[in-house]
Amino acid sequence: MMHQTTCDLATQQRIHVVGVGGPGMSAIATTLQQMGHLVSGSDIKNSPAIERLRALGVQINVGHDIAVVEHCDYVTASSAIPQHNIEIVAARSTGTMVLSRAEILAAICSQRPTIAVAGTHGKTTTTSLLVRIFTHAGLDPNFIVGGDVLNESTGARWTNSQWTIVEADESDGTHLQLPLTGSILTNIDSDHLDHFNDLASIAESFAIYLSQIEGPRIVCIDDPLIRNLPQSGDWHTYGFDTTADFRCHDVIATDGLTEFVITDQRGAGLSVAVSMSLRGMHNVLNVTGAVAMAVSCGIAMQVAADAVETFAGVGRRFQIIGDFNGATLIDDYAHLPREIEAVLAAAKFSDDGWKRIVAVFQPNRYNRMAVMSTEYGDAFMNADLVVITDIYSSGTEKIEGVTGELVAHAVRARHPGQEVLYFPSRDSLAQQVSAVLQRGDVCISMGCGDIEFLPVEILQTLEGKDR
């Protein structure tokens, strides 16, 4: 299906990015700058992301000012930026086209054949794996990823390559607007119910998404909702299921490494052995999907497997931050029940020798917790100690009676014998968590808010004691 984009990036444009410090928009700004466009941006405060953009030559204003959108060809902003933002209002008043993130990303994708990774969970890791495989194969792809690809030390790059690799985010319907050559679909789960009415609507959107792609569609057959989607065209499956076209099997986890086999069951049954530093069965699936897509694009299966062995991971995905008195501190972006369950299972069965798993979770978005808090009841089954803090709003309106304690109640209700602590104050969380950690623990802090800074804050409490 042909997509028409509203922005022509084939010639140099002057583009202003509102909220440029956010992970999604900073990646867009990086790409546009490296494509040769004249890029400016604004945000309410400085950040490391803004400093990296300045180093690339992007002109950034801290604070919003209507003067910065003068003489721009386009202004773009994420859905998190309110429409009454003064720069957006000023742009519209002068007839300057204001583009959503989906629209500017679609314009970028239209410049080259583009492979996307879609699905509720695993998008960032699978996209990053594709980048590593294509880079290892000498294809040097353009990419836009929702986290820092540690091998590349960035989450976005434009090399003018023949291939572009991106995440297809479903949260605001972006995935339906992208002109794509091929896609991986990892799974379908309940989320973003403020945009979708229910799980059935989410599944329907992914069915439409796949129907718009003419090239390879690589889908996880282990997911029951994906299994029931209508199939057509260049459709290949992957998973543990014995019927999968690309089947992963014989998984062994030892000393922080995971080894397994991928078999292409479509023809002669070619198999490759894979060794990776990623933990967990969910990452076995992520790797298998990435290898399947690479093979569908003409990359040899062994080349793809060799690339996985050199994959350094993604920022905020089971990222080991440091050691606190013999306890290992890990940061992870997991914020939905299935993601949390997968991360804790990876720690439980990783053969790292950790004595206790301490899970620290910061719920995200009041509107999400208002409807989903009970779904977290079984997510922490593999944790020995669960610590819940209060909700990180992510710009959502506070709802009376909706707090992080709802998640704590859900876990206690499902598992009355499990030790669950509720520490509502984010300011004192590092002190409270450091007080309960023991030598031999692994402490995994999870969420998509400012919980990412918790491991460093815990390490700083140690430095304070040493003074």
The residues that are catalytic are 123-124, 167
> Which residues 6+ apart lie within 8 Å of 75 measured at CB?
15, 16, 17, 18, 69, 87, 88, 91, 96, 97, 98, 99
Amino acid identity for residue 359 in this structure: A
> Which residues 6+ apart lie within 8 Å of 254 measured at CB?
351
Span between the terminal Cα atoms of the chain, in Å: 64
Q: How many residues comprise the chain? A: 467
DSSP 397: P
- Rounded CA gap, 321 and 452, in Å? 10
Residues 325 and 410: beta-carbon distance below 8 Å? no
Greatest Cα pair distance in the chain: 65
- Could you tell me where the DSSP H helices lie in 145-280? 199-211, 224-227
- Rounded CA gap, 245 and 235, in Å? 10
